Chains A and B, each alone.
Chain A
Amino acid sequence: MTTATLHDVRLSGAASDRNYFNDEYGALSWFLTKDHKRIAILYLISVSVLFVIGGFFAMMMRIELLTPEGDLLTSDTYNKFFTMHGVVMIFFFLIPVIPAVLGNFLLPLQIGAKDLAFPKINLLSWYLYMLAAGIGLIVIVTGGVDTGWTFYTPFSTQYSNTHVFGTTFAGFIAGFSSILTGLNFIVTIHRMRAPGLTWYRLPLFVWALYATSIVMLLATPVLAITLVMLMIERTVGVGFFDPALGGDPVLYQHMFWFYSHPAVYIMILPAMGVASDVVAAFTRKKIFGYRFVAFSSLAIAFLGFLVWAHHLFVAGISVYSAMIFAFLTFFVAVPSAIKVFNWTATLYKASVSWQTPMLYIMGFIGLFTIGGVTGLFLASLGLDIHVTDTYFVVAHFHYVMVGGTVMAYLAGIHYWWPKITGRMYPEWWARLAALLVFVGFNLTFFPQFILGYVGMPRRYHAYAPEFQVLNVLSTAGASVLAVGYMLPIFYLIWSIWNGRPAGKNPWGAVGLEWTTSSPPPKENFHETPVVTWEAYDYPGMMKAMGETQHV
């Protein structure tokens, strides 16, 4: 083997026989591993299992909502299902999925490092996540929880007789997993970049992970404090939020959203990073306005802290604070718009491949755009009064968090699958799944915008008959979507043994991760790489190709 070079565009290369999979054997070699790649695999399996559980709850709700009457589930069961759908999907899937799976696997590879800065803390993060998920699963099988994932007081502290304590405790523990991952990433990005890899040479995925990590580190402790206060009030009766004890229920909402709004950016920023990397690789072009895209991630992370009260426009804040938060909310939309426009402009005079990851990212840009512009409806104060707490909001945040984050995650898992496993996934099946996900998603959630404007409130077990047509459409879409989500689970597993060997760099992409073998060796690079090129240096690659007359 020669040393790694950037401009190695061979479509296949002899795989090194030693890699992180076969370096060690046995269960203990996985459960006590400090290798970021193995920890990423542990996360991949765990979040996939929780995604299926969260999806089950969603499917049951959609079937219940086929008819206006509450006939399949009791009201209490329905309330528990939407609560546990939210808790599982947000705390145990959407927040960790891209940072903990793709970020863990790729961050050291993309910056030319052997591992994260604190490998043992990285493993601890996974164990904390598993402990929290375990508590969450115990709650689910022993009766569940019915407060909504937002745990609004005084319902959660005085009135609910379900497992509020267990669930909030699980959220509290999961928070520490998030904090430690954020800390680990920040230190790694600062201290462990390969020689020559300056900040402006970093892939935009790394910039996005950096911004995400800052939010994780600064916002999650507030969630922890809030949940502890809730647990104390519920068990010991100290009055923070309960009016009978001198507390204020709206204070809870302020504290909860001070974390949970930035949490939306914990979910979407890494997705934007994946989109940048995939757009560059599948257009063979440097992302237009690289620095604007990089700094827009930091701008989103910063502004994301200043808009929490836009969840409270009808909840009991003054007219003037509502105006300030609405004003800032419009500002946070600007950096998101910058990214969308830059990705679009990158396609101009590019070499666009229609392979699966790019299909998902085109879907991502479209769905995220719809999710983003409907946020403008909600930021417009007088209009928010009508649409808040209706299905319009449900549709809006699913477009951002599912249409955005999940689509980008699927793009990323397909894009880096050859690197992770050394095998190609079956392209035909993957394109079919991408199409099903896109069509199913829109059919599921687009009708919900209309449903919300017509006036159907969210979290309704039974509804007025005039809402039925749109609900039936939505459920039909959900079944297509479910098939689209299940397909990759099967063909990706199949491809681990049966896929075509991928070689180092099946996409002809630029980036340090594509200069090492697939799957990478335990230490990632045989020699520490030295970086002499800009991020996404496809023009440089073109020059190199001209010189070597390769392929």
Chain B
Amino acid sequence: MMVADFPLWPEQASTFAKDVDALYIFLIILTGTVSVGIFLTIFGLAIKYRRRPDNELAQDYEPPKILEVTWIVVPTIIFMGLFVWGSWLYFHLARVPDDALDIYATGKQWMWKFQHPTGQREINTLHVPVNRPIKITMASEDVIHSLFFPYFRTKMDVLPNRYRSMWFQATKTGRFHIFCAEYCGTLHSGMIGWVEVMEPTEYQKWLAGGSEGSMASQGEQLFQKYACNTCHTNDATGRGPVLAGLYGKDVTLSNDTTVKADDNYIRESILNPQAKVVKGFNPIMPTFQGQVSEDDMMKLLAYVKSIGQNTAPATTPAPAGAKGTNP
């Protein structure tokens, strides 16, 4: 930006940005033309037909009725076009690429915590490689927040009761704003940070800079700490279902419905185990509501995901471990 003090739009730093800006600019031209047209018409007519003597009356003339049909039909057609364009963008954003790098985020009053699959943790800063899709799975520890990357043209509300995910692919290296966009209390405007987009080699170097073990291995320790492994054994003898190979599969429940074992199913099964009991098992698992923090929950999730991939690598090709190399 030439005039850094007076930007008209933020830098385009993601694959998504130029698509959003294209629709924005199209809408400015379209609505600007129509609005200015209306202003000039009103102003012009109001001058042309201004009342000269005080008692002057209007001419007894009505414009043709066909105008009504015109200005109902034409805007409706234009609106449908905008609807399609806007929805196309929205779909694009909702569909996470398969090879996305997984990152976990937690919002809490008033900071952003990020965890990398390899175990690195950071607060209010997020290091990501350039030119690689990044998927952020996130939850809130308290109120609703909203993770907003203006330079990537994307945001998503972060909820306290379930996982949500968003993705982006940065197209240039640098430092870009992170804001919280959903009002969350006293220091809402201080819940900000920076995303550091790095060259892949730099990112690898940064990742190598020490960690407490991968998220999955930390999750495995928690799996033992919370004594999950006493019931969820690796063979079919346990009182709970086997978790290896579970992630991403369909599960048949005791009421004969099926659900997909995704992030939110695993989360719910830990916090509210009676909600969806697997067919053939007794509803004996205690709730872990209030005992497992969001950080730990994400590690447990990473662990369950990792053993899911060990047995069924074909369904989820993205390597979750330290093997994360750039394409």
Contact = CB atoms under 8 A, between A and B. Distances in A.
Interface stretch (A178-186, A374-382, A400-408): A374-382
B72 interface: yes
Interface string A198-216: 0000000000000000000
A372 B86 CA distance: 17
A389 B8 contact: no
A314 B157 contact: yes
Given A381-B87, A382-B92, A159 B142 contact: yes
A382 B49 contact: no
A338 interface: yes
A337 B71 contact: yes
Contact of B49 (A152, A330, A340, A352): A352
A388 B161 contact: no
A381 B86 contact: yes
B45 interface: yes
B314 interface: no
B24 A323 contact: no
Q: Which of B76, B85, B154, B155 has the most CB of A within 10 A?
A: B155
A76 B181 CA distance: 17
A267 B319 CA distance: 54
Contact of B51 (A11, A353, A370): A353
Contacts of B60: 539, 542
Interface in A444-462: 450, 453-455, 457-462
B109 A159 contact: yes
Contact of B35 (A347, A369, A380): A369
A373 interface: yes
A383 B58 contact: no
Contacts of A542: 57, 60
Contacts of A313: 90
Given A385-B155, A463-B189, A369 B55 contact: no
B53 to A, nearest CB: 9
A348 B10 contact: no
B75 A334 contact: yes
B2 interface: no
B155 A545 contact: no
Interface string B51-92: 100111111111101011001100110011011011111111
A323 B62 CA distance: 40
Contacts of A383: 20, 23-24, 27, 86, 89
Contacts of A386: 20, 150, 153-155
Contact of B10 (A362, A455, A458): A455
B27 A344 contact: no
Contact of B90 (A319, A353, A545): A319
Contacts, number: 277
B290 interface: yes
Given A331-B79, A376-B82, A384-B86, A538 B189 contact: no
A347 B35 CA distance: 17
A351 B49 contact: yes
A330 B91 CA distance: 18
A284 to B, nearest CB: 5
A249 interface: yes
A380 B92 CA distance: 13
A354 interface: yes
Contacts of B92: 382
A66 B93 CA distance: 35
B49 A459 contact: no
Interface in A248-297: 248-250, 283-286, 288-289, 292
For the complex of A and B, 3 pairs with smallest distance between CB atoms: A382-B89, A455-B150, A380-B86
Interface of A: 9, 11, 70, 75-76, 79, 146, 148, 152, 154-155, 158-160, 243-244, 246, 248-250, 283-286, 288-289, 292, 313-316, 319, 322-323, 326-327, 330-331, 333-334, 337-338, 340-342, 344-345, 347-354, 358, 362, 365-366, 369-370, 373-374, 376-377, 379-386, 388-390, 450, 453-455, 457-464, 466, 468-470, 508, 538-539, 541-542, 545, 551
